[in-house]
Structure 1
Amino acid sequence: VEEHALLTEGRATVGEAERQYRRVQSLATQGTAAKSLLDERGREWETARARLAAIESRLSDRLIKAPFSGVVGLRNISVGALVEPGDLITSLDDDSVMKLDLAVPSLFVPSLALGMPVVAVTRAYGERTFEGRLGSIDSRVDEVTRSIKVRVILPNTERLLKPGMLMQVTLRKDARKTLVLPEAALMPQGREQFVMVAVPDGPGHKVERRQIRIGSRRPGEVEVLDGLQEGELVVTHGTMRVRPGQAVGVRAISDGSESLAELLKSPPAAQEAGSAK
């Protein structure tokens, strides 16, 4: 409080000293004031400004300004506590964009490229995905882990992600649009793969056994290269209980957003199907 009062007084003194100097300067121009008086008023103005600068400097030492806009965390001190250089007062986070650091096996270094799409998930938000891009790649491979550090940039406009969260990241190399199928629908026979497809048959559907050619796999899903068209109905539950040519009724169609357990609320009256997507 005392320092702020001195600041107000200092500003008033500077203002008054400037007015006195301007007044004497005007008189000196007209030849009615001595140059020595003008010099004296000038020194008084400079002295007042120097004192004001000293007061402002002392106040600035007590004011902590954030270097960027963000969210302030819990404070670690109370009013009146003694603070020394290096003491943690609080935290400040710019959570509009999150930086996610992770280690990638050096085997995949040739596949890494700045700007490549990235998908991240966290258990806190279930199956919700957060999309971003690869922002930077370290210049060295760790000699112990044989991995390289990369930094992923994730937009966080909804402020859902918090610093320190554990996330699972998928780097998408050569992203392409393709058909995928639940792995449970596959019926392997030797090196060949078959699925049961529910094809239209009059007012209902009948089962057709069809050979397909598969590509890459990921947990729970497999890529279909040939043998299916987008939108066809594939039996994904109870495949061993149906036979080619058997009439079936479609009770639930899964698009991958819900599990069959959620779709099938009542006892089954017919076989269930999922669609190739």
Structure 2
Amino acid sequence: MKRIIAALILVVLVGAGLWWLLAPAPAPMGQRPPTVVNLAPSIERSLFDRVEAVGTARAAQAVMILTEVPGRVAQIHFRQGQKVEQGKVLVTLDDRNARAELARSEAEYQRALNDFQRGQKLVKSRAISQSEVDTFRTTLDGAKASRDAARANLNDHTIRAPFAGVVGLRQVDAGGYLQTGDAITTLDNLGYIEVDFQVPERYLARLVSGLPVQARNEAFPDQVFEGTITDLDSRVSTASRSLTARARLENPQDRIRPGQFLRVSVQLAERDALLVPEQSIITQGAQSYVFTVTGDNTAERHPVTLGGRRDGWVEITSGLTGQPDVVVNGHSRLGSGQAVQVLDNPEALLPGQRALLEPASPDADQADSEAAA
């Protein structure tokens, strides 16, 4: 029994000695253990400054087809919603009276012409005076004007498309009597669309004709309508302190119709930008910070100024030099100079953010700087 007790005491003493030798040194009093953090790289990518605005689509050419002379509708030559070419006959009015009037005016013109030609011969032989020839000349001019007016009146009985486009709903029926100015239908050129939108005056120095424009509509969420700014207004609105810009957009398959709501994005400029993941930003009041890790595994806080955003990344315009790795996890209560333990975590970035780590392509550089109008 005594031997067993002695053996147990020996085992306990040996175990205590090993623990004392191998146990880690305790942290100094008041020092926190290292904070576990994840790092992600900062990257340099192209960034577009954009202005976001809204506007209403309208056809680049749009008219209401009206009658210019009164008359009864003889025939309708179009279908509602039909595409027509320039000069296409849309409606013909009963023109029997107009044709008769033209025949009468042409007869009067021919008689006046004959009288004038006869007078020119007689004045040479002094059979009549020059004043009589001048009277024949005046009568001829009046007859010619009456003939031209009769021709125009006859032509106005045939209503044609002034340009190529799409006709709207029909407002008349065959056999109906129309007065001057009555509406027949609408005609819109939908080959391209125009949109007017407001741009805040602070962007005027960079706003010029020819800037690229993209527009979207909720009816076609997966389609972007491309175009350019064509015109700028000459005045800034005193009420909104903004300038009206007009853009022309391509309209494939005539999808956008006049009156539709559009979200417009204007690309002002392109620049190279230093980007960090959004989750690396710590904001305290009006100041934003990011943390990096020094060579001795301590945290370093950097006050930074933020710029544009793109795909879950934020532009750093000042406060960070080079392209250092930044802390994206574990920095909510981190302080400058605090010890850290860096752990590799491939899931620290979101899938959309990881996509931007690939080399940039021209099509992928279409980013915005949250310059909302």
Q: TM-score range by the shorter chain?
A: 0.5 to 0.7
Unaligned runs of 5+ in 1: 195-212, 229-237, 243-253, 257-270
1:274–1:78: structure 2 CA closer, same or farther, 3 Å change rule? farther
Whether the 8 Å contact between 1:180 and 1:222 is mirrored in structure 2 is: yes
Residue type at the aligned position of 2:313 = V
Whether the 8 Å contact between 2:236 and 2:244 is mirrored in structure 1 is: no
Counterpart for residue 222 of structure 1: 313
Measure, in 2, the Cα distance between the counterparts of 1:193 and 1:61: 79
Pairs within 5 Å for 1:65-214: 69-74=163-168, 75-84=170-179, 87-95=182-190, 98-104=193-199, 108-112=200-204, 113-115=207-209, 116-123=211-218, 124=220, 126-133=222-229, 135-137=231-233, 139-142=236-239, 148=242, 150-156=244-250, 160=254, 161-176=256-271, 188=280, 191-192=290-291
Measure, in 1, the Cα distance between the counterparts of 2:346 and 2:223: 27
Measure, in 1, the Cα distance between the counterparts of 2:125 and 2:223: 83
What's the CA shift for 1:7? 0.9
Residue type at the aligned position of 2:105 = G
- Is the aligned partner of 1:276 residue 2:359? yes
What's the CA shift for 1:3? 0.9
Counterpart for residue 209 of structure 1: none
Whether the 8 Å contact between 1:101 and 1:149 is mirrored in structure 2 is: no
- Aligned pair count reads 213
What's the CA shift for 1:96? 5.6
1:122–1:86: structure 2 CA closer, same or farther, 3 Å change rule? same
Measure, in 1, the Cα distance between the counterparts of 2:196 and 2:314: 29
- Is the aligned partner of 1:23 residue 2:124? no
TM-score, normalised to structure 1, is: 0.54
What's the CA shift for 1:133? 1.8
What's the CA shift for 1:102? 2.8
- Root mean square deviation, CA, Å: 4.6
Structure with the greater relative contact order (CA < 8 A, sep ≥ 6): 1 or 2? 2
Unaligned runs of 5+ in 2: 1-95, 283-289, 294-303, 317-321, 325-344, 361-373
Whether the 8 Å contact between 1:101 and 1:150 is mirrored in structure 2 is: yes
What's the CA shift for 1:111? 1.8
What's the CA shift for 1:38? 4.8
Measure, in 2, the Cα distance between the counterparts of 1:171 and 1:272: 24
Counterpart for residue 342 of structure 2: none
What's the CA shift for 1:240? 1.9
Whether the 8 Å contact between 1:103 and 1:147 is mirrored in structure 2 is: no
Residue type at the aligned position of 2:147 = L
Q: Which has the higher strand share?
A: 2
Measure, in 2, the Cα distance between the counterparts of 1:12 and 1:130: 58
1:159–1:193: structure 2 CA closer, same or farther, 3 Å change rule? farther
Percent identity for Structure 1 against Structure 2: 19
